[in-house]
Amino acid sequence: MEEQMDYSMAWLSYRKIPWYPDREYFRKIYVQENEAVIHTAAKELSRAAEAMFDESPQIITILKEAPENSSAGIYLYTDKNGPGNGGYHLYEEGGRLTITAEEPSGILYGCFALIRKVQRQQPLKNLDYKEVPDNPLRMLNHWDNMDGSIERGYSGDSFFFKNQELLINERTADYARLVSSIGINGVVINNVNVKENATKLISEDYAEDLKQLAMIFRNYGISLYLSLNFAAPMELGGLDTADPEAAEVRDWWEKQMKQVYASVPDLGGFLVKADSEGRPGPFTYQRTHAQGANMLAKAVKPYGGVIIWRCFVYNCTQDWRDRKTDRARSAYDSFSPLDGQFEDNVILQIKNGPMDFQVREPVSSLFGALQRTRQILEVQIAQEYTGQQRHVCYLIPEFKEILEFHTCCTKERDTVADIISGRAFPQFAGGITAVANTGSDTNWTGHDLAAANWFGFGRLAFSTSLSAGEIAEEWCECTFGPDKEITEAVCRILMMSWPAYEKYTSPLGIGWMVNPHNHYGPNVDGYEYDRWGTYHRADHYGLGVERGSKGTGYAQTYLEANASMYETIEDCPEELLLFFHYVPYTYRLKNGKTLIQHIYDTHFEGVEDVQKMIALWNGIRERIPEDIFMRVSERLEHQLEHAKEWRDQINTYFYRKSFIEDEKGRKIY
């Protein structure tokens, strides 16, 4: 690398562009008066221009739109006829670059889009580009605890909390810049498991800090959200019940919300994990989730707040011998009967699959079943089950598949993307959220390539029609510059990483062959005789969980034609075969291979794929900054060793269960 640069701002680490033909536009930026977010946008443009081509734009305040015949420059102004809901129009005409939008946040997103084009050194002349976000809510959920730790965090400590206090410093501002640059407009800062001091976040003790944080966020078009403890009336308020139907509980919440909203009037609302994995909820009082959520929703309604209620509810003390109870059914069984019973400021947050962020799961059958309820899709970019940011695993191709899944809920516009965006049922629009993968590490995400998931999630949430490949390229060129060789190698690594991870870990949708609790590394029977509802049911003849009508019936929770498709081994998509069916090792897959041979082969292939990734990375060594190169190299080497461990444990396990030799005679222990 010829230049020394600071990469601590991930894709916003601007590199010098030695000769930039379009610098002219950046001499003057005309902005509207009195719009904080538009001023942020102008500031971001100047910052980028200064860093990339040493231009310090003059920022000129104008009253409204650009006067006729005005001079060259960039014009930022709201226009009630411009694209709405955070959308923008970015165009060039006669030496003037204009960004218009109905809302100031649209202008900000337009500026970041312009910056991306400059980073990629794309021509600006005659540019005409419009983007309108598909999803109203584009959120990140941080699972940060107030002691500074992060539940399922793989890139250092929290930058929101330390020693029970809120941290507000330069990193907070950098974070706001990064997330707004990819279109995120809502952030939950604390863990869904709200314990101890986190319960007090809604008390006076933290009001001043929250106010400051919300202000930093606000200038970047981001709303602050908090996770809430359903038992707060008891733990914080000293009441002896948290029953949502009790008058004193309702009064307590109303009073509490009034106070919270007095300090942060534009607080987005609250995220609630109730009656799940030991967290309190309405079940204690024989009330439904609807009663619980609606009570809170009424308390925040006067302030325009929302209650985001999670559907991750299941029996976590299941008996592993019981073949009828199925954790996969749980969210569906709990929430589908409640469709239509929620207040309009309640949004149900649904994990992408019925289990828990495994490398492969079917799309949750709640999507499609709920037709009168607002919904948010929850995915996880924290790589809890996908290599914990030590393995490279680019998840955007997975998210694309989820978003494009046809639920069959309407004749047209029936995909998950259609449902959450409000195209399927317009009054029930919601959005998408990701469990965040960031922390205090200088590169933010531990693995440098994991930043592609962070960037990619935001970009995809904004424009669900972008392809995973386009997003990878955009991230790569913004991060490393428009260097063809880097882009090609890095994008190939990214695009092959999710399939590779799937190949060397547990096969065909079965999941869960991981070490219990920390969820890292192979442990074939780690969860098999435990209470979590996470089984593979392998024996001497075959493996898989029978979820057709002769089994747990989970396949039947889908709408037709999906229910029939999942019902039979023949019609079930092969990548999900073992999720839905118990299948003998000798069963022949569509490619003619037996199931056991497929398991052996994919495990060898997965390791070979990692070797290919290493070769690709080594091939660009001279072009990548040394420290980044080394960091990624070390992780790739670890990934290779770990992939071999996975391969050997899984293959050996199935060999010893089945006694069937590998047709290719490879060494299986």
Q: Which one of 273, 289, 374, 459 is in contact with ligand BDP (CB under 6 A)? A: 273
Residue nearest to ligand BDP (CB): 356
Query: DSSP code of 217?
Result: H
Give the Å distances, CA to CA, from 462 to 31, 42, 552.
24, 21, 37
Minimum CB distance to ligand BDP smaller for 275 or for 601:
275
Q: Is 525 a catalytic residue?
A: no
Minimum CB distance to ligand BDP smaller for 219 or for 352:
352
Spatial distance between the Cα atoms of 429 and 423, rounded to a whole number of angstroms: 8
Q: Is 277 a catalytic residue?
A: yes
**Under rule CB under 6 A, residue 357 binds ligand BDP:** yes
User: Does the bond joining 561 to the residue before it have cis omega, within 30 degrees of 0?
Assistant: yes
Closest to 330 (Cα-Cα) out of 318, 320, 342, 340: 318
Closest approach of Cβ 352 to ligand BDP, in Å? 12
The answer to whether the beta carbons of residues 97 and 107 sit under 8 Å apart is no
Catalytic residue among 277, 344, 627, 641: 277
Minimum CB distance to ligand BDP smaller for 111 or for 192:
192
The answer to whether the beta carbons of residues 444 and 150 sit under 8 Å apart is no
Alpha helices in 165-278 (DSSP H): 170-181, 207-218, 232-235, 247-263
Cβ-proximal residues to 529 (8 Å cutoff; 6+ apart), any chain: 320
**Under rule CB under 6 A, residue 595 binds ligand BDP:** no
Q: State the sign of the Cα–Cα–Cα–Cα dihedral 361, 362, 366, 368.
A: positive
Spatial distance between the Cα atoms of 219 and 217, rounded to a whole number of angstroms: 6
Closest approach of Cβ 628 to ligand BDP, in Å? 29
Cβ-proximal residues to 457 (8 Å cutoff; 6+ apart), any chain: 140, 182, 379, 381, 395, 396, 399, 434
CB atoms closer than 10 angstroms to residue 91: 16
Spatial distance between the Cα atoms of 395 and 456, rounded to a whole number of angstroms: 9
The whole-angstrom distance between residue 452's C-alpha and the CA centroid of its chain comes to: 11
**Under rule CB under 6 A, residue 315 binds ligand BDP:** no
The answer to whether the beta carbons of residues 430 and 376 sit under 8 Å apart is yes
Tell which positions 61-120 bind ligand BDP, by CB under 6 A.
none
Count, residues near ligand BDP per rule CB under 6 A: 10
Catalytic residue among 92, 356, 473, 601: 356
Minimum CB distance to ligand BDP smaller for 309 or for 653:
309
Minimum CB distance to ligand BDP smaller for 152 or for 631:
152
Give the Å distances, CA to CA, from 369 to 75, 100, 337, 363.
46, 39, 9, 12
**Under rule CB under 6 A, residue 193 binds ligand BDP:** yes
Q: Which one of 55, 79, 151, 401 is in contact with ligand BDP (CB under 6 A)? A: 151
Tell which positions 418-447 bind ligand BDP, by CB under 6 A.
none
**Under rule CB under 6 A, residue 212 binds ligand BDP:** no
Closest approach of Cβ 273 to ligand BDP, in Å? 5
**Under rule CB under 6 A, residue 527 binds ligand BDP:** no
Spatial distance between the Cα atoms of 122 and 120, rounded to a whole number of angstroms: 6
Minimum CB distance to ligand BDP smaller for 151 or for 174:
151
Closest approach of Cβ 428 to ligand BDP, in Å? 23
Q: Which one of 270, 312, 394, 504 is in contact with ligand BDP (CB under 6 A)? A: 312
Closest approach of Cβ 380 to ligand BDP, in Å? 7
Minimum CB distance to ligand BDP smaller for 192 or for 370:
192
Spatial distance between the Cα atoms of 316 and 276, rounded to a whole number of angstroms: 8
C-beta pairs of 213-217 under 8 Å, 24+ apart in sequence: 213/166, 213/168, 213/172, 213/189, 214/264, 214/266, 214/267, 216/168, 216/172, 216/173, 216/176, 217/176, 217/187
Q: State the sign of the Cα–Cα–Cα–Cα dihedral 143, 147, 152, 157.
A: positive
Closest approach of Cβ 301 to ligand BDP, in Å? 26
Minimum CB distance to ligand BDP smaller for 243 or for 384:
384
The answer to whether the beta carbons of residues 113 and 459 sit under 8 Å apart is no
The bridge status of strand 223-228 relative to strand 306-310 is unpaired
Minimum CB distance to ligand BDP smaller for 357 or for 454:
357
Q: Which one of 39, 96, 152, 536 is in contact with ligand BDP (CB under 6 A)? A: 152
Minimum CB distance to ligand BDP smaller for 193 or for 594:
193
Closest approach of Cβ 210 to ligand BDP, in Å? 23
**Under rule CB under 6 A, residue 192 binds ligand BDP:** yes
What does the radius of gyration of the chain's CA atoms come to, in whole angstroms?
26
Q: Is 356 a catalytic residue?
A: yes
Give the Å distances, CA to CA, from 509 to 81, 214, 513.
48, 41, 11
Residues recorded for the chain? 669
Minimum CB distance to ligand BDP smaller for 224 or for 514:
514
Minimum CB distance to ligand BDP smaller for 437 or for 658:
437
Closest approach of Cβ 384 to ligand BDP, in Å? 6
Spatial distance between the Cα atoms of 102 and 245, rounded to a whole number of angstroms: 42
Q: Which one of 134, 243, 326, 384 is in contact with ligand BDP (CB under 6 A)? A: 384
Catalytic residue among 384, 441, 448, 609: 384
Spatial distance between the Cα atoms of 83 and 500, rounded to a whole number of angstroms: 40
Closest approach of Cβ 4 to ligand BDP, in Å? 40
CA angle (661, 666, 669) in 5-degree steps = 70
Q: Which one of 356, 361, 441, 448 is in contact with ligand BDP (CB under 6 A)? A: 356
Output the 3-class SS for 520-554: CCECCCCCCCCCCCCCCCCCCCEECCCCCCCCCCH
Alpha helices in 374-516 (DSSP H): 396-403, 416-421, 451-462, 468-480, 484-504
Spatial distance between the Cα atoms of 246 and 248, rounded to a whole number of angstroms: 6
Spatial distance between the Cα atoms of 9 and 120, rounded to a whole number of angstroms: 16
Cite the active site residues.
277, 356, 384
Site of interaction with ligand BDP (CB under 6 A):
151-152, 192-193, 273, 277, 312, 356-357, 384
